[in-house]
Amino acid sequence: MTTPLLIILIGFLIFLGHYLAQLFQRTKVPDVVGLLLVGMLLGPVFHLIDPAAFGRAGRVFTNLVLVFILFESGLEVRFNQLRSALRGTVALTTLNFIVTALVVSALAQWLTNLDFLSSLILGTILGGTSSAVVTTLAREVHILPQTSTTLVMESAFSDVYTLGIPIALISFSTGATLNVAGLFSQLLVALVGALLAGAGGGYVWLMLLSKVPTLLKTRFSTPAFAFILYGVVELLQFSGPIAVLFFSITLGNLPLLRRGWLRPVLPNQTVELTTVEKDFFAEIVFLLRTFFFVYVGLSIVLDDPGLIALGIGMALVLFVVRIPVVLAAADKTTPQFDMALMSIMIPKGLGAAVLATLPAQRGMPGGATIQTITFAVIVATTVLCTGLFFLLEKRRILGFYQLFFGPPRPLEAPGVPVADRSGAVPGK
């Protein structure tokens, strides 16, 4: 595709993104599906654009999108929500990862020619959720703030598992030794290090803003610091997404910090982000996520009908097993609608797609099979998640989830305003 045509296409995609977003507000049909389909038409269907042409720029772009989305989401999280959601997040993330890895591994071992280790690698690659999809959908529905925080944090925390464990297993399959105790200690250090780096980065940035007033006049200096923080934390072998999330949570809770025990060491000057800045970030996130989902569609590789069908079947099974995971991990006082929403939030993202290419690159015999199944599961879980989201929003499938989560709680009874249970104003 020539440069003029590519520039025209970029402009067209921006208009398409706005149209799909407005369509979503009217019909509750998620725009993610439309953007994915456009990407698939441009890439694997008509081969108008080859994702390989983006090279390393494609991976940089996905990380850039992730930083912006997590940064904007964290600004709205309050410490009381974080405190109430943290325990449930750890339980949900860990249990979902273990169950997903075991189920996918068992199905792969039974229905493909993959050996045990390759099947386990496939399962661990698919053990997390996509921050971009989950964060996008969680913000478009009226649920408890704790529920939204839990889902966003799960998508970030799961990166610790889905990056560390599959890479360790792939290295072991190519001749390296596998130290289980060392692996889990590394995961713990990566998690704690990212939390401290994110919170510490927020404090450092607040001090910089108070010492260098000119930074307050720019709209992009805070995201620029988030990029630096993400890169430094990743270089230290910690989790960049978690660091960025807690960096933005720290900034978003500055008024609360000023009333707490940190008041003596915080700057007296007002350095909170303004509404104009937050609106600016929201517009940037909108543009980036539009191109992100088109890029995901471009990157899909669907070359074996049998394995594609198997991937779709795996996706369906994962939606079923997610229900007992939510039952076991969620607080029993969580509203029924929130638990139903948690049960469908298992889309797999581009991180899984990147990891799925590693076995083939390392020369593993089942590398191509792992890659094809992973891409099929990514598409199937994303499309199913957004489709179920639409049906759940319309209360079309709520009766099904009542079989597992019981009747609606008192605050979910008909006639009770949504704002009474979620703290959100309908339509906002």
Whether the Cβ atoms of residue 359 and residue 121 lie closer than 8 Å to each other: yes
Q: What domains are defined for the chain?
A: 29-422 (1.20.1530.20)
Mean pLDDT of the chain: 81
Find the mean pLDDT for residues 266-280. Answer: 63
Average the pLDDT over 41-59 and give the result: 79
pLDDT tens-digit readout, 18-40: 888 888 777 766 677 788 889 88
For the ranges 50-59, 87-96, 112-121, 383-392, which has the lowest average pLDDT? 50-59
pTM of the model: 0.77
* pLDDT at residue 261 tops 60: no
Average pLDDT rounded to a whole number, residues 210-231: 81
Least confident among 59-73, 126-140, 401-415: 401-415
Mean pLDDT of 255-271: 54
pLDDT at 264 > cutoff 70: no
Residue 417 in this model has a pLDDT that exceeds 50:
no
Task: For residues 294-304, give the mean pLDDT.
Answer: 78
Provide the pLDDT for residue 45: 84
Whether the CB-CB separation of 158 and 94 falls below 8 Å is answered with no
What's the rounded Cα separation, in Å, for the pair 335 and 329?
14
- CB within 8 A of 390, min separation 6: which ones? 28, 29, 30
Instruction: For residue 135, count CB atoms less than 10 angstroms from its CB and return exposed for 0-12, middle for 13-18, buried for 19 or more.
Output: buried
Give 412's DSSP letter.
G
